[in-house]
Amino acid sequence: MPETLTCPRCYFTIPTSGAVRFCPRCGLKDVATIATDTAPLDIHCDGRLYRVEDRIAIGSICTIYRCRFDQGHRPVEGVFKIAREPMSNALVSNESQVLRHLHQADRDKRFGAFLPTVRSSFAYGTDIPRQANVLTLHDLIHSPD
C-alpha cells in the first residue's frame, strides 16, 4: 500500500500509517479500497464481455464506472454500477427491477427514452459478491465527449 492515499471524493491526502477505514475530511467509507480500485477490468457475464473502464462517480450505495461491450456486432458504451457494500445488494437489484417495470409500463413510448435500459444485472465477486447493473442510455441520448 502506498504511504498516502488520495480520497476520490474530496481529494484529501490521507497518510496510511494505520488502518484507513474512512476519509477524515469527508467521511467516505472504505476509502483505501476505493482509492486503489483496479479499473480497467474485463467481466464475463451472460455470454458477454464487459470492459469496465474509468470510474465516473462514487455514491453512498454504488460506485459507477464507464463500460463498453458488444451488442450484436456493434460496440456499445454503458454504465457499470456496483454496490459498494454487500448490504446494498438488494437496493441495486431493486433498481434493475424498477427500471424494467417502467419500460414495460411505457406502452405509449412517451418517457422510456429518458430512462436507462438495464442490459444486465448480476452478482460480482467471489468472496462476498456485490450486485452490479449494466445500464445504457437510449440511442438518441448521447453523453457529451
| Mean pLDDT for all residues in the chain | 81
Burial class for 28, CB neighbours closer than 10 Å (0-12, 13-18, 19+): buried
Give strand pairing partners of 13.
Answer: 6
Torsion of CA 33, 35, 39, 45, to 10 degrees: 30
Spatial neighbors of 97 by CB under 8 A, at least 6 apart, are none
pLDDT (tens digit per residue) in 61-87: 998 889 999 888 889 899 999 898 889
Whether the model pTM is above 0.75: no
Q: Is the pLDDT of residue 50 over 70?
A: yes
Q: How many residues can be counted in the chain?
A: 145
**Which pLDDT band, with edges at 50, 70 and 90, does 121 fall under?**
very high
Residue 141 is predicted with a pLDDT of 55
User: How far from 78 is each of 8, 18, 70, CA to CA, in Å?
Assistant: 21, 37, 10
Q: Is the pLDDT of residue 100 over 90?
A: yes
Most confident of 10-24, 26-40, 59-73: 59-73
Q: Is the pLDDT of residue 95 over 60?
A: yes
**Rg, C-alpha atoms of the chain:** 17
In this structure, are residues 8 and 35 in contact, taking their beta carbons and an 8 Å threshold? yes
Residue range 38-136 in CATH 3.30.200.20: yes
Residue 1 is predicted with a pLDDT of 39
Question: Which residue has cell 465516473?
Answer: 56
